[in-house]
Structure 1
Amino acid sequence: MWPPSIELAMTDPSPDALFDEAIEAIQSTISEEDRRTFCHHADITSLVEDLRSICASNQQEHQRLVTCSMKIALFSRSFAPYFDTVGKFDQVRPHWLGWFWGCIGLVFKVGSNHVLFLEKITDMFEAVAHVLPQYRRFNESTQRRSGGKQDHRLTSLMSYVYADIIQFCLDLYRIFTRGSQGAKLRHRVSSFSAVLWRPLDSRFAQLEKRLSLHRKWFEGEKEIQNLDLLAQHRKDYLDFLNTQTEVNGEVEAERMSRRLRRVDKVKAWLSNCCAYRDVYEHRIRQRHPNSCAWFLDTPKYCKWKNTPFDGRLANDTDNLQTSWHERILFIQAKPGFGKTFLAGQVIDDLTTGAEDLNISDEPPTIAFFHFNAAHVYCTHPNDAFRAIAVQLVHTHRHDRATLDALALLMRKTTGQGKASSDEVLAVCSLLLRQHSTFLVIDGIDECSDTNLFLTTLPELCRKSDTRVLLFSRPNIEIPSTYQKWASDSPHIVALGETQNAADIDSYMTENLNRLADQGFFGISMDRSLINQVSGRSNGVFLWASLLLKYLQSPGLSSEERRSALEQAHLLEGLEALYRGILTMLDRRNEREKRVAIDVFRWLSLSIRRLCIAGMQAALAITPGQPTTSDQYLSNFAESIPHLTGGLVEVTDCSVQFTHRSVKEYLQSPEFQDSDFSLFDESTMHAHLAARCISFLANDVPKRPLHRLQPYVRPTTPRATGSGTSFRTERSGDSGYKSMSSASDTDGVATESSRTTPTCFDDDIPFLRYSSLCWPVHLTRALSNPRPRLDPTVHSNTSPFLRTPWLPALSQFLTDRTAVTAWVEASWRYSLPPNISRLIPLLLIIKSEIPPATVGGRELRWVVNGLRQLSDALNELKGDYGTTLRDNPSLIWQWNIQAATEEAFWPVWDERRGRVHRA
């Protein structure tokens, strides 16, 4: 039996106050479109039917939505008896139910386009269901008060739960809509002051605490019979509900610090590589003053940029679904036109002018990406979406709706270190929905899967009013989904050579006159040639830039430079200019020519991109010889463009071809007879393998890479399968796993995968690459070998012409300390060495080389040596794999030697600093 009524002073005497205030908050928060379509559900049966209808309308996410709807139904069944309980003390107004269940349904509806976040939300509703009191059990065990006497005070106390959950729903609603501020309920106003604002997870914890106190009060009302205790019990509950949170500067500073740490955690989880920024910043520094400004006046660009962002349309999901074509603009021009420079100009224009655009309530956000085939992390569609997601998270790191979304995102995470592609898209989709945004994407023709990118992009544009600018060559295939009946979509701006002619003329005239003033063309320069030369560019800014670099090459005399201007028609077109540059490089001394050849090979065929320090080390290697300091290039950033005739450039963090077309030309069949050709990839891989192996044999210290650690018996065995294998693009690479089936995984293990915190390779920047990649290069060299050479024709050539890696590999296998250092390095990179696939390939080569020749005898010895090494590696992994994963230095200790046959591995005497001698 419910206890007798107790007189208790209330801050608000009206029992309906919070119910009505909650409804007013709903009305003032939701958008005009949502008010128009709002469903007032009289009961949970109507609500559940609405949820089913929403699930059925989204076949792609149907099963996930059904699971979410089941959790909402669980909450609804737990809360529905609440209204019967309130009805025992007061008359329940029908609109209380209609707005409440309608608000629950609205949250599900707006969240259904962002299922990842909706799943987190329905988990929270499920948690609330378990905190609520057992209203149904109370209703079944009590009878209505005698005489039907109403108790408005109890109704008021019960109304706090209604208001709390409505407030929670409105907080969730704001995450999925733009510009929705709404009203804050007076009973919770302290929690929403500007100073004391907390992210969603903190507010949800507070909600759970309030509901727990409500449950304690509710159950106490049934148990306490002493009227004084009952009065105090109610007063304590009411005091808690009305407690004002004190302002504490230190506490608030700590909260802000936690928020920023969460932002950093999310950015790390999204796992974006910033190489695309390197492209942008490098091109900005190269851009000629006042160039590209003409594009900003292009009519289609002006319309795309200046059309106002309409908050009402941004929340109209039906309109977004049908109008997305109008917000995507393709900018197309031929190779070398200067599209990346234009993209940089657009990014700067949008960034600097965002405050003055006056096209939205808040300045629009700008996010960008540059696809670049030269960067391993700038090629896949997922790379672009990760970069965009990180930019959006960082830009809006102080926005409340975004912070709430991040709080949802990090709620009960699966613990995976990297977001999947679906999760990345979910983050992009929601943050683009929250904020008006411009996206600028350059080089989509360099994307590894252009079709995937262009079919995924509309998924974002259908859920937000995002505007996208796409720069590419004209030859990309635009999916048919971009076509719209009775419109000119896809919207394409085709740029021609007349549009950038003035920029090129200004650039060429200024720089050629400067060169003439500096005497590059001798004393008898006819400056009328300058105006004629700029007209040869045919709208290709790259041609103009490379011609200037060519003319400044120290390999040309002043007469040759002047002749080049006089006969500029012979260099007209990129291919003709490339041919001229490479002809000039071919006349250089052997050392300079070899560096240029090696640069081209490393940039074109490296398994993973080399850092600048790694590239410096790689270029200094002479196979079969230790590398000395004088073999390193001085002033590397300036030397590389000079040695390659401007075909390669050095940015702040990478070495790359000046343009994608350079690599395409070097790989073309027409150029295969040149020493600079990249057409025969097998031969190129053979030379790169030779350099990697030579580095391991001659330049890596022949001693432990880290201080020896004592053996510790493992407590539990751990699998040492190939799951941590080095990932390459081809399944046939020696002993390593292909990443062709795992586009969401990095091409290489991250630095965090090392088993020791000490950076043992800081002074050996090429160690990681050479250790992990020499078997891959050698496998690719052997998989598609060149046709057998006629010994009568090539009798005077090197015996290792077909096998340039053979002398280095023979030297490497002969030195057990070098081999052991390589094995230790591989284990320290958490990628156990595996050379099993090399041996069958070598046997094929062995059968083709006469055994009596120098090469044949050497190859026979190498095959036997590799077999022995492979057996030792397999034995090592099988017996000591788990222990070596934790302590790679054991490879140098007695424990390993005692466990393996024939004492294959040397033992290091750390006290004497040398290998132990028996």
Structure 2
Amino acid sequence: MDLSQISPTDLFSKCLQAFRASLSEQNKLIFTEFQTAEEMVESLEQHLQATKNPKLYFYSQKLGAFTAALTPYFDVIGTFVQVKPEVLGGLWGSILLVLKLGTNYSGFFEKMLQMLEDISTSLPQYGDAVETCRSRTFIIQDRLQKSLSLVYADIFEFCRQVHVMLNLGSRGSKWRHRVGFLGDVIWRPFDDRFRQLLERLTRHKAVFEYEMRLQSQKMLNRIHHDQVRLDRMYENIQTALNEGFQAVKQFPDSVTMERFKKDLDHQTTLAKTWVGATDYMSIYEHAKRDRMEGSEGNASSAQNSSSFSDRVLLLYAKPGFGKTYLSTTIIDDLKSYTSFTTANQDQHNQNPLLSFFHFSRDATLGSGLMAIDGLRAIAAQMIHGVRDEPAILDSVALFMGLHSSGQMTASYDDILTTLSLLAKARPFFFVVDGVDECSDHESLLTILSNLCQSSKCRLLTLSRPDIQLPRQLSRITPRLCALNESNNYNDIELYLTRNLNAMAEDGLFGARPLSENSIHRAANQSSGVFLWTTLFASYMRNPALTPRDRHQFIADALSFSGLDGLCKAILSRLDQRSAREKKLALTIFQWIAAALYPLSSITLHTALAITPGEETSDLDYLVGFPECLPKLTGSLVEINPFGRPSFIHLSVREFLVSQRSASVPSFSLKYPHLKTATTVVEKYGTDKYFNPS
């Protein structure tokens, strides 16, 4: 399209037509034209009053600055061409529409007002030039008319692009980049396009001001100088715009497509960095590596769960059931499902995407404990899932550095708005494990369930049965599903069969074979707790046991049902060791239980070498550390995948610090922090490495 061949009147009409064509059917019904800016501002104030927005006066003032700058524009252009009522009314109507849509998202409305304010500062003082334009002495009318009409087109295109971002969930928008009247065929980040909009308006402002200067200058040499400069500026604008329109007609070449992909990748990386996600892969990868292949019970539970049709599904199971391992199976099944639907989707269907998080109070695993930790991780995965959707990335970009306070990481409100935008743009599966270990789990469940209620997203959580549910959750009638012993029995029996048969092949039971039904009896005593099974097998491999000890331990399995019973049995056997070994095991338990931050192997190694009242030397350090920890603690302590000492499960710590451990008083940890602190204080006063005197 050659802009030199289009009149301002035709340009106004085409801009209005392009904007109306981009509207969804629903927004076409609410789109209203206003003859004056005052009518538009009054309508917005009524809308804000209905939403009970407390900043009504502040917002009206900001919008008033924009309308005050733009209203004289129509007086100026009206001196050259006859402006039809729908031209003015359509522009005010388009601005009101996107502002109303922006009030649906926290923070979006304020940022849009700020952008309108930035646009107003890029416009010239039209009101001061109305009389000058009416005289038209030295004005080259054709050139100024086109420059003024392009201001109108730029503002309309801005409204169209914002409308596309705010209307991601509509069937008509399909989240794909659309070429507007002044748009590019290749997407670029919205902040780049907005910056270029301001640059174009600044150039239009310069053209206008030079024309006004030509009108008032009396010296011919100055007029000639400005005339040449103005011609050059206008030629540059004309060339750039014509090249842009020419690009719309052509299919992009490989270089352009490569730049497009790099821009998308860069914008995605910036967005994921901005949300500041907590590590969400480590627990998943660790549990997946340890997950037993060929299981049946958990696998069937996962299959039933991953095909859930309920908006919110809450799975309950007792501590140690194996919920985290189950969650990895569900996640993998959902990954396969989303990959299949992505490969087979048609242009009218939306493929669901997946986001997940595991909460854990185990400080050694590095997982977050607050709801915001999980929400940041979920937001990062959602952004990664829409990395090929330019319009959705644009909506996120509005919160990144654009008119922000300078904060490099998204705030709590920014995260909530980002989640809301992404959830309405695409359906997601949310899988959250360990909800009961989230310190503000009611807030977490409220936020995620509200997202599911206002979108096509679905939520699956795994937690203990005693979790307190928020009242707001009852509004969407979540499905509650309790997992029992029958769901786990086949897995537990299979696990014990594999491990005990492997031990027998390794000669750990000596020449005497296992008694009949020993595996079946042990599986029955687990009470459906998979942790019982892994701890039982781990203890049986303890090198401190003889074959006779192992046979006796299996025979005694009927006497310690459940996880507490197994912990008591192991601790009772530790209690039969020498005083030195018992004290060493107790110290290990104390330090790990009292750790406020992940405890390193070096720290624990040093702590175990300390004897209060005595100096510590190299001779006091344990040999073969930390590999000896399972042997010293009856397999209640292990080295986790991050190389840090930790209890085999959080339930072991809970047992040791609770009244339930009173039956084994030698290892009851009623005040682990006090005992650990006492050791440090005593050591501080005697050890030359701690005492500078």
TM-score (norm 2): 0.84
User: Which residue of the partner structure matches residue 68 of structure 2?
Assistant: 77
Change (3 A) 1:219 1:248: farther
Aligned residue in 2 for 1:113 = 104
Q: 1:378 to 1:35 in 2, by over 3 A?
A: same
Partner of 1:40: 33
Q: CA deviation at 1:501?
A: 2.2
C-alpha deviation, 1:818, in angstroms:
4.6
Give the Å deviation of 1:354. 1.4
Distance 1:260 1:644, change over 3 A: farther
Distance in 2 between the 1:66 and 1:596 partners?
Answer: 67
Does residue 241 (structure 1) correspond to residue 233 (structure 2)? The answer is no
Kept after mapping to 1: 8 A contact 2:176/2:391: no
- Distance (Å, rounded) in 2 between the aligned partners of 1:406 and 1:588: 63
- Asked if 2 retains the 8 angstrom alpha-carbon contact of 1:555 and 1:584, the reply is no
Of the candidates 291, 300, 315, which is equivalent to residue 294 of structure 1? 300
Q: Does 1:605 align with 2:599?
A: no
**SS, match of residue 242 in structure 1:** helix
Aligned to 2:176: 181
Partner residue of 1:355? 339
Distance 2:653 2:562 in 1: 16
Aligned with 2:359 (options 371, 383, 391): 371
- C-alpha distance in 2 between matches for 1:672 and 1:528: 32
- Greater share of helix: 2
SS in 1 for 2:616: coil
SS at match of 2:357: strand
Partner SS, residue 485 of structure 2: coil
- Deviation at residue 372 of structure 1 after TM alignment: 0.8
Distance 2:411 2:550 in 1: 54
Is the contact made by 1:64 and 1:115 (CA closer than 8 Å) also made in structure 2?
Answer: no
RMSD: 3.6
1:329 matched to which residue of 2? Answer: 313
SS of residue matched to 2:628: helix
Structure 1 stretches of 4+ moved >6 Å = 150-153, 230-233, 245-262
- What is aligned with 1:524? 513
Q: Specify the alignment match of 2:12 in structure 1.
A: 19
Q: 466, 469, 473: which one pairs with 2:460?
A: 469
2:192 aligned with 1:202: yes
2:575 to 552, 571, 586: 586
Q: Is the 8 A contact 2:275 2:415 kept in 1?
A: yes
- Determine if contact 1:65/1:112 at 8 Å carries over to the other structure: no
Cross-structure match for 1:494: 482
Query: What secondary structure is seen at the aligned counterpart in 1 of 2:360?
Result: coil
Structure 1 residue aligned with 2:283: 279
Alpha-carbon separation, structure 2, partners of 1:614 and 1:415 = 39
Structure 1 position 392, deviation (Å): 3.3
Distance 1:513 1:567 in 2: 19
What amino acid maps onto 1:347 in structure 2?
Answer: I
Residues 401-460 of structure 1, C-alpha deviations (whole Å, 9 max, x = no match): 354323542124334465443333333333333433221111111111222323333454
Q: Secondary structure at the match of 1:89?
A: coil
- From 331, 339, 342, the counterpart of 2:326: 342
Change over 3 Å in CA distance of 1:508–1:128 after alignment to 2: same
Partner of 2:379: 389
Which structure ranks higher in relative contact order (CA pairs < 8 Å, sequence separation ≥ 6)?
Answer: 2
Q: Deviations over 1:482-502 (max 9, x none)?
A: 123xx7x12212222222222
- Cα gap change, 1:193 to 1:138, in 2 (>3 Å): same
Residue 707 of structure 1: aligned partner: none
Which residue of the partner structure matches residue 402 of structure 2?
A: 411
- For 2:276 and 2:157, the matched residues in 1 are separated by 34
Q: What amino acid maps onto 2:241 in structure 1?
A: L
Name the residue aligned to 2:171.
none
The size of the alignment, in residue pairs, is 658
SS of residue paired to 1:498:
helix
Q: Please, which of 499, 507, 510 is the counterpart of residue 495 of structure 2?
A: 507
Alpha-carbon deviation of 1:593?
3.8
2:535 corresponds to: 546
Q: Secondary structure at the match of 1:193?
A: coil
Q: CA deviation at 1:79?
A: 1.6
CA deviations over 1:805-857 (Å, ceiling 9, x no partner): 43x23326xx6x8556xxxxxxxxxxxxxxxxxxxxxxxxxxxxxxxxxxxxx
SS at match of 1:81: helix
**Aligned partners of 1:266 and 1:406 also within 8 Å:** yes
In the aligned structure 2, how far is the partner of 1:490 from the partner of 1:273? 27
Give the distance between the partners of 2:57 and 2:649, measured in 1 at CA: 50
Question: Contact 2:313 / 2:479 at 8 angstroms: preserved in 1?
Answer: yes
Relative to 1, partners in 2 of residues 1:642 and 1:281: Cα closer, same or farther, differing over 3 Å?
Answer: farther
Counterpart CA distance in 2 for 1:25 and 1:639 is 73
State the match for 1:534 in structure 2.
523
Cα distance in 1 for residues equivalent to 2:81 and 2:609: 88
Which stretch shows the higher mean deviation, 667-676 or 380-389? Answer: 667-676
Report the CA distance shift for 1:267/1:166 in structure 2 as closer, same or farther (over 3 A). Answer: same
TM-score, with length taken from structure 1: 0.65
Amino acid at match of 1:444: V
Q: Is the 8 A contact 1:389 1:424 kept in 2?
A: yes
Given that 1:131 and 1:212 are in contact with CA atoms closer than 8 Å, whether structure 2 keeps it comes out as yes
Deviation at 1:599, TM superposition (A): 3.1
* Cross-structure match for 1:867: none
The alignment partner of 2:432 has SS state of strand
- Structure 1's 586 and 35: CA in aligned 2 closer, same or farther, altered over 3 A? farther
Q: 1:158 to 1:577 in 2, by over 3 A?
A: same
Deviation (angstroms), 1:288? 0.6
**Displacement after TM superposition at 1:162 (Å):** 1.9
Q: Distance in 1 between matches of 2:668 and 2:5?
A: 83
Given that 1:75 and 1:129 are in contact with CA atoms closer than 8 Å, whether structure 2 keeps it comes out as yes
**Is the counterpart of residue 133 in structure 1 residue 124 in structure 2?**
yes
Gaps of 5+ in 1: 1-8, 305-325, 694-804, 821-905, 907-918
Letter in 1 for 2:472: T
The one-letter code matched in structure 2 to 1:241 is: L
Q: CA deviation at 1:153?
A: 7.1
Match of 1:561 in 2: 550
Query: Structure 1 residue aligned with 2:416, among 422, 425, 428?
Result: 425
Distance 1:235 1:809, change over 3 A: closer
CA 1:102 to 1:204, structure 2 compared with 1: closer, same or farther past 3 Å?
same
Q: Is the 8 A contact 1:440 1:468 kept in 2?
A: yes
The offset of 1:673, in angstroms, is: 6.5
Q: Deviations over 1:720-748 (max 9, x none)?
A: xxxxxxxxxxxxxxxxxxxxxxxxxxxxx
Alpha-carbon shift at residue 224 of structure 1 (Å): 2.8
Partner of 1:354, secondary structure, is: helix
% same residue? 32
Deviations 1:482-537 (A, max 9, x none): 123xx7x1221222222222222222222222223333333232243223322332
Question: 5 Å matches for 1:224-235?
Answer: 224=214, 234-235=234-235
- Check 1:388–1:46 CA distance in 2 against 1; reply closer, same or farther (3 A cut): same
- Aligned partners of 1:176 and 1:433 also within 8 Å: no
**CA gap 1:181/1:156 in 2 versus in 1, 3 angstroms:** farther
The one-letter amino acid of 2:416's match is L
Q: Is the Cα contact below 8 Å between 1:163 and 1:185 reproduced in 2? A: no
1:269 deviation in Å?
Answer: 5.0
CA 1:205–1:252: 2 relative to 1, 3 Å: farther
Give secondary structure in 1 for the equivalent of 2:382.
helix
For residues 578 and 673 of structure 1, do their structure 2 counterparts lie closer, same or farther at Cα, with a shift above 3 Å needed? closer
Q: 144, 149, 160: which is aligned to 2:150?
A: 160
Q: Which runs of 5+ in 2 are unaligned?
A: 169-173, 216-222
- In structure 1, what is the Cα distance between the partners aligned to 2:201 and 2:380? 36
Partner of 1:687: 675
1:815-894 to 2 correspondences below 5 Å:
818=690
- 1:669-688 CA distance string (max 9 Å, x none): 2424646545431xx33432
- The alpha-carbon distance between structure 1 residues 181 and 530, as it changes in their structure 2 partners (threshold 3 A), is closer
Deviates more, 1:450-459 or 1:336-345: 450-459
- Checking the alignment, whether the CA contact within 8 Å between 1:372 and 1:378 is kept in structure 2 is yes
Q: Secondary structure at the match of 1:499?
A: helix
